[in-house]
Amino acid sequence: MEPLLLYPDPPPPELAQALDFGGYPWKAVGGEHDVERLEPEDGWAGAVVCADASPDGAFALCRTLRKRDLPLEPMLLLVTGAQLGDLELRDDLFDDFCITPFHPREFEARLKHLFWRTGQGTRPELIEYGDLVLNLETYQAAMSGRPLDLTYMEYELLKFLASHPGKVFTRETLLSRVWGYEYYGGARTVDVHIRRLRAKLGEEHANLIQTVRSVGYRFGQSRWGL
């Protein structure tokens, strides 16, 4: 996938983080003069323009992108609630907008919809359960938009469990499926990683991984709501 054009340069940290986690490559521009100078060989995949700090520069950039021989799309505009009134006469300059500060899930949904609508790009492969999102391409995880600092094996264990919500796995099964048949560690290895995962998920979400007495562990709810 070609990179998204991102304005301004440097972009707001929360915007860059949301794109990085979503697996969307991007390149920031400082204004109209950078559009062609920094354009990738295969062109831009689209644009995300943040208009809250410098609305004049943002809308000028949008006009430049729309006047190209091949108008750039899709284009997502980020604005504050106070700027909504300014959009009525400028709706030809963007394809959709999102109010900032935005929730990462809403931002991701709007960007996904734009790519689907224009038939461009593909969405990275994700596992989603409630507020938990796992990006299978970048090996990143987030809870309610908050990145989780997981080790490789913690990520692999969480990915396996989240891929089978409601199903109970014994410690021995988890050892063989996550660590591999050649791993000689004991069942305590699973317990330690489960404890660390719960701590990193946070108190509010720790019960996503449930202990099934005398059996093992289950992620999320069973099909019968037990």
Domains of the chain with bracketed CATH: 4-118 (3.40.50.2300), 126-219 (1.10.10.10)
pLDDT 10s digits, 123-171? 567 888 988 999 887 788 999 888 999 998 899 999 999 999 999 999 9
What is the amino acid identity at position 12? P
Identify the pLDDT of residue 85: 84
Identify the pLDDT of residue 206: 93
Q: Can you say whether residue 120 is alpha, beta or left, with left for phi > 0 and alpha for psi between -120 and 50 degrees?
A: beta
**Looking at residues 59-83, what average pLDDT do you find?**
91
Long-range CB contacts (within 8 A, 24+) of 36-39: none
Residue 101, pLDDT > 60, answer yes
Would you say the C-alpha torsion 185, 186, 188, 194 has a positive or negative sign? positive
pLDDT 10s digits, 196-221? 999 999 999 999 999 999 899 999 96
CA dist., res. 142 & res. 150, Å (int):
10
